[in-house]
Amino acid sequence: MSDSPTVSVIIAAYNRPRVMSIAIKSVLNSDFQDFELIIVGDGCNQETEDAVRAFTDSRIVFYNLPENTGHQSAPHNKGVEMARGEFILFLNQDDLYFPDHISNRVAFMRETRADISWSPILLLQRTAANHGPVNAHRDRIVVDGAVHNNTFDPNVFVISSCWAMRREVCVDVGPWLPIKQTRLSPSQEWMFRAWKQGRDIRYHREASVLCIHSGVRPYSYIHNGSIEHERAWEWVSAGPQARVRVLNAALVEMAGREYHWRDSLTRVQKPFSSFVRRMAKRLGKHPDTFQRMLAGLGKGAWVNGHTKLTRGTPPVLKPGEPVPFTASAAEKHVGLGWHAFESAGAWSELETAELFFSTEQDAQTLVLSGYPFRGDDTVVFTLDSDSVHEVRFSGKAQDVTMLIPQKGQHLLTISTVHPTSPAALGQSDDTRMLSFWLSSFKIENTPVPAKSG
C-alpha cells in the first residue's frame, strides 16, 4: 500500500458508539482495502473514543474536536483537512457500506473522470423484527436519491453517505457551512454550491449504501444501541444473497408506491377513463375489456397487435435502394443492441447488435457501410446464425459485402471484439459503450465476393 491511500473515508461521530462501530465495520469489510478511515468526533464522550480505539487497524485515524458544534459540518471540514486520499467518501455514523461500494465508486470515478458522483441509496424506513433476514412483507425499504435522466437535480435530496469526489475538488468547492448560515442542510448546500460552480457531477446507478436516518427517529441519541443497525449489519455482511433480499424488498415497496401514485394521478388527469374503469369493476367486467370496447377494439384485436410485432415479416430490401440508418428509414429493421438513431446513422451499444430484413430473390448481396468505434478493430458479421464473415477495419469507414444465397427473412448480427466508451479512451466525457457505426445498408442483385478487410 502506498503512503497516500487511494480513498479517504470520513465519518463524523457523536456519542453513538455502538452504532458508529457498525459503520466502521462496514468500511473494514470492503473488498477494496487501499483506504484510510478518518473519524472526527464532534466533541464526543470518552465512550465514543474508546469504541474507536477498540479497532486496532492502523488505517483508522481518530480526531476529537474540543467542543461540540451540533452538526456534521465542522467534523467533515476537519476530515477533509486531514484526508490524504485521491478520492474522498463520506459515511454517516448511522449508515453502512456494502462490501463493493468503495471499489465500484473508485472504478466509476476513474472511468468517467467525474469531479463528484452520487448514487441511489437503500433506505431502511422500518424494521419489523429484532433479527433475521429481510422480510419483504413487513420490513419497509425504499430507494432514495435516484434521478431519471442521470443529471443532478437540486430538488433531489442526496445524502452525503453516497458521495464520492476527488480530494482537490472537495477542497476547491469550499467548506461545509455551519447550520446557522444556511436554510438547507449543510450537505445539500455544499452539493448545490458545487453544482452552481459547474463541477462535473455524475450519477452512479448502483445502490450500495444502506441508510438508517437517525434524524427521523425519536430519541435516537438517548439510547446507545440500535436493533435496526444490528439487524442491518447482518444484511450487509451476510453476502450476495442477503443483498438480493434487501433489493427485492425495496423493489416490491417502490413498485407498490408507483402503482398507487399512477392510479391517483389517473383519477385527476383522466377522470372519465378512471370512472369507466371503476364502473366496469362494479358491473363485473374487467376494466381493460370495457375500455377497449369503448375504443373500438374487437375481440382479439389487442393480442393481434402484439402478434404483428413479434411474428411480423421484416421489411423487404429493394435492389439498388440504399436504406439510410436513421429512425424514419431503418426503425423497423433493428433488433437489440443499438443506441438511439442519430442524424446520419447509429452506434451499436452491445458486443452484438441485430439487423432484420427480407429479400425476394435468391443470390443477392448485402452491402453495409460503417466502421468500428476503435477504428482498427475486427468486426464479425453473422448471417442467419451460420454464415460468418470477419472483417478487419483499418481506421476508416468501408463497405462490407455478404452473399445472401436464398430469399426470405434474415437476421444479421454485428459483433465487435472491443467495444468501449469515449470516456474510457480519454476522448470526451461520453460514457456510452460504442461498438459499430452503421450509416446505411442495401441489397444488390449482382453478387460481390466478401471483402477480407
How does residue 306 score in pLDDT terms, banded at 50, 70 and 90? low
Grid cell 457531477 is found at: 201
Domains of the chain: 7-256 (3.90.550.10), 323-444 (2.60.120.260)
CA-CA distance, 252 to 266, in Å (whole number)?
A: 21
Q: Which of 153, 4, 176, 196 is nearest to 82 (CA)?
A: 4
Residue 22, amino acid: I
Residue the block writes with cell 419483504: 136
Q: Cα–Cα distance between 48 and 401 in angstroms, integer?
A: 72
**pLDDT surpasses 50 at 259:** yes
Band of residue 448 on the pLDDT scale cut at 50, 70, 90: low
Task: Taking residues 320-342, report their average pLDDT.
Answer: 92
Q: Which amino acid belongs to residue 215?
A: G
SS3 per residue for 348-381? ECCCEEEEEEEECCCCEEEEEEEEECCCCCEEEE
Tell which wins on pLDDT, 450 or 272: 272
CA-to-CA distance for 349 and 333, rounded, in angstroms? Answer: 16
**Cα–Cα separations (whole angstroms), residue 207 to 89, 115, 200, 216:** 15, 19, 20, 21
Angstrom distances, CA of residue 278 to CA of 68, 271, 281, 291, 349: 58, 11, 5, 11, 43
Q: pLDDT tens digit string along 106-123?
A: 999 998 999 999 999 999
Query: What percentage of residues in the chain have a pLDDT greater than 70?
Result: 95
Tell me the average pLDDT across 57-81.
96
DSSP codes of every residue in 164-186: EEEHHHHHHH-PPPPGGG-SS-H
Express each pLDDT in 114-150 by its tens digit. 999 999 999 999 988 888 999 999 999 999 999 988 8
113: helix, coil or strand?
coil
In this structure, what C-alpha cell is assigned to residue 292?
A: 377497449
pLDDT, tens digit, for every residue of 417-437? Answer: 888 888 888 888 788 899 999
pLDDT band of 91, cuts 50, 70, 90: very high
Overall average pLDDT of the 158-169 stretch: 96
The H-or-E segment that residue 323 falls in is strand 323-324
The pTM (predicted TM-score) of the whole model is 0.78
The pLDDT of residue 196 is 95
Is 351 in contact with 416 (CB distance < 8 Å)?
A: yes
For the chain, what is the mean pLDDT?
A: 89
**Residue 453's pLDDT band (cuts 50, 70, 90):** very low
pLDDT at residue 1 tops 50: no
Return the closest-CA partner of residue 405 out of 359, 453, 441, 354: 359
Q: Are 82 and 64 in contact (CB under 8 A)?
A: no
pLDDT (0 to 100) of residue 449? 55
In this structure, the number of other CB atoms found within 10 A of the CB of residue 193 comes to 16
The predicted model gives 6-34 an average pLDDT of 96
